[in-house]
Amino acid sequence: MQNFWCQNPQATADAVRRRWPKSAEHTIFIADEICRGRYLFQDRWEMEPTHTAVDFGAEIAGIDWAAVPFGDPEWLYAMNRHTSFVNLAKAWLYTGDDRYARQFAALLDDWIARVPLTEESAPNTWRSLETGLRCENWLHAAALLAGSGVLTDERRARMDASLTRHGEHLVRSYDTFHKLSNWGILQDNGLYLLGLYLGRQDWCALAARRMDENLHRSVFADGSQWEQSPLYHCEVLHCALNTLHYAQAAGQTLPDRMVENIRRMCAALAKWCKPNGELLLQSDSDTVDARDLLVLGAALLNDADLYACGGGQLWEENLWDLGTETEALWAARPAGKRQTASAALPDSGNYMLRGAHESFVHMHCGCLGSGHGHADLLHIDAGIAGEDVLTDAGRYTYVNDPTRHALKGPAAHNTTRVDGCDFSTCLDSWGYSALAVPVKGEYRFTETADFVSGAHLGYLDKGLFTERKLVFLKQQGVLLVFDRLTGKGTHSFEQSFHFAPGALTLTGQTAHWQGKTAAAVLYCLGGGLTLTAHKAPLAPVYNRLEQTDALTVQRTATNGNWFVTALRLKPDAAAPDMAAELLPVRKLRLQTPLTDAEAQAVRLAVNGQETVVLLCHGEVISEVDLLTAGGYAAYGKAVVFDADHPLGLCLAW
């Protein structure tokens, strides 16, 4: 019988309670609530966390396993994944209190007796996704409770019989949907574990083949999972790593292609995460620290760089997965290299720019992904010193209601819109009636500055082509955003900027934001602008909706429009502000002026140091000539001038 989870659970429990006492106490609290018949789902990797307890009463017979509180079926799914079983098992190890073990046994018996697999239960309590995840949680809980005495021979036989039905259901529950969706990986991880546990090598082989084929289809060459959600990338990666973990422990091999895709997913996650290890709120995602997944990947793939990206230590989840003995092995190894350079995931269209003081800028210009994807083309996130400054609004719910639609729409993202219309139109909770086509642009990363560009065709029906170009000055923490919408007719154009929780004040065309420590100043350059500060929804985790400050910038224009925005990211309020102004651009030889549609330049001054950034938007030089602005001259489409680069650092030609 395969030994699931860490080899010495009590040693792990003791280490966790010593090093992360608040986490252990929270687990005990959750277990106490379960013993009272009250259910909350708040595990760190819970896919749909809840924040209001549902009380069935202390009598287990009062539990309605098919209940749908609050009108959200995700509650039912979370209830039947049985993370509660693992929390009870951990609480027993933390405290030695047998009531937690007895509660596990009673819940297991009740569920097996009262929740059979039927035609009616197959799409809810026995949904294949929950069936696969439940297998993992049952096996983990049983391993942790091995010394409790509650897993009698009779109860173990009932559990094994039910798990056999789980496996048979997972074998049958497979169609075209599972060949690409995250469901395929999540449920087949459970099937693989069951194969090991029950000695069904045929199930192991089937699960490994399905997972290998799914990852071949769903993981891009850059390592990102196709659904465009960092959270679901991690859920898929967790299950793939879990399968790899137990395959290695059992002396079995997985297909080389599958292992390579797991490796590429780990590398992509290291690039996609913010400098503090947290996930972006991109698409259907929550704020979660993902470093434990990087460390697990490092351990299974023997990758010191991944270990460094994961913080160079074992986290709580790693101790449960790998055991305390693994720490000494890694402590004795040479340190790896942490991901600190800017990076592109070009296949998914995600770009992560990194600068001084843990500053970062993320832009997305790629495919929508699945129904988990949001209408976020050209959206940007930004932060510094461990704090977000500009953020996505998150997901909040999967219930098909106006809030779900709003949080998926372009106005909930830091991008541009025209005439109050969406470039991609949300149809319902999972579908769209129209999708904008992304047009990926150029990118270049240097030690001084980074450049990214992208566009989309979402307003072609209005005769408009939408572009965005970013220049990130990495040492100064300055982001320049050049938006251009080219076309005919008179239209109302708008930009949206959603700020992280903090205080936003607006003075003229300048917005000042103050976070806990970090600060930022956003300069909207040019005339004819209307700036409106307002409150907007923010959902850092599922089922929790907050209000945060947002800024909408508008201009009505004829025959196209442009916005130029400068964002100064500051590690603290004491860091100096910035001066920013637009400069005229000319051709050097005859001093021919260029229009804003042709070229633009910005002069910046931070702490007495001047930088000029010149952007050329089209083909304007047909003879030998240079472009000039602010006393500098160069040839190129994106050029940075400063004291170190008086002749210009060209980022695009």
Q: Are 254 and 244 in contact (CB under 8 A)?
A: yes
Residue 612: predicted pLDDT: 98
Residue range 563-601, pLDDT digits in tens: 999 999 999 999 999 999 999 999 999 999 999 999 999
Q: Are 28 and 13 in contact (CB under 8 A)?
A: no
Alpha helices of 441-576 — where are they, by DSSP H? none
Q: What is the DSSP letter of 639?
A: E
State CA 273 to chain mean position distance. Answer: 7
650, containing H or E segment: strand 645-652
- CA distances from residue 183 to 290, 292, 400 in whole angstroms, order as listed: 20, 22, 20
State CA 378 to chain mean position distance. Answer: 16
d(CA 344, CA 233): 16
3-state helix, strand, coil in the chain (%, to 5): 35, 30, 35
Q: Out of 78-92, 119-133, 326-340, which region has the weakest mean confidence (pLDDT)?
A: 326-340
At residue 487, what is the residue type? G
Q: What is the mean pLDDT of the chain?
A: 96
> Residue 2: is its pLDDT beyond 60?
no
Average pLDDT over residues 353-357: 98
For 205-265, the DSSP string reads HHHHHHHHHHHHHHB-TTS-BTT--HHHHHHHHHHHHHHHHHHHHTT----HHHHHHHHHH
Average pLDDT over residues 291-295: 98
SS3 316: helix
HSE-CB at 127 with a 13 A cutoff on CA atoms is 20
Residue range 453-508, pLDDT digits in tens: 999 999 999 999 999 999 999 999 999 999 999 999 999 999 999 999 999 999 99
Residue 4: predicted pLDDT: 72
Of 233, 244, 176, which is closest to residue 207 (Cα–Cα)?
244
**pLDDT band, residue 7 (cuts 50/70/90):** confident
Which residues make beta-bridge pairs with 360?
A: 354, 383
**pLDDT band, residue 3 (cuts 50/70/90):** low
Residue 334: predicted pLDDT: 86
Q: Are 233 and 279 in contact (CB under 8 A)?
A: no
Q: How far apart are the first and last CA of the chain?
A: 62
Of 126, 144, 74, which is closest to residue 543 (Cα–Cα)?
74
- CA distances from residue 269 to 301, 354, 553 in whole angstroms, order as listed: 15, 15, 33
- CA distances from residue 559 to 53, 62, 218, 474, 586 in whole angstroms, order as listed: 55, 66, 41, 34, 22
Give all strands of the β-sheet with 464-473 in edge-to-edge order: 438-445, 449-456, 464-473, 478-487, 561-570, 519-525, 510-514, 503-507
Average pLDDT over residues 185-208: 98
Angle among Cα 430, 225, 500 to the nearest 5 degrees reads 70
Residue range 174-183, pLDDT digits in tens: 999 999 999 9
Residue range 300-330, pLDDT digits in tens: 999 999 999 999 999 999 999 999 988 888 8
For 105-148, the DSSP string reads HHHHHHHHHH----TTTTTTTT-HHHHHHHHHHHHHHHHHTTTS
Pairing type for strands 387-390 and 503-507 reads unpaired
For 325-383, the DSSP string reads HHHHHHHTSPP-----S-EEETTTTEEEEE-GGG-EEEEE-S---STT--S-TT-EEEE
Average pLDDT over residues 274-296: 98
Q: Which residue ranges form the domains of the chain, and what is each CATH number?
A: 1-173 (1.50.10.100), 177-326+333-339 (1.50.10.100), 343-575 (2.70.98.70), 578-653 (no CATH)
**pLDDT band, residue 62 (cuts 50/70/90):** very high
Residue 1: predicted pLDDT: 42
SS3 564: strand
d(CA 70, CA 562): 44
- What residues contact residue 647 under an 8 Å CB cut-off, 6+ apart? 634, 641
186, containing H or E segment: helix 182-198
The two three-digit tokens of residue 478, written as one number: 């300055």
Q: Are 269 and 247 in contact (CB under 8 A)?
A: no
> Residue 79: is its pLDDT beyond 90?
yes
The two three-digit tokens of residue 541, written as one number: 């985790």
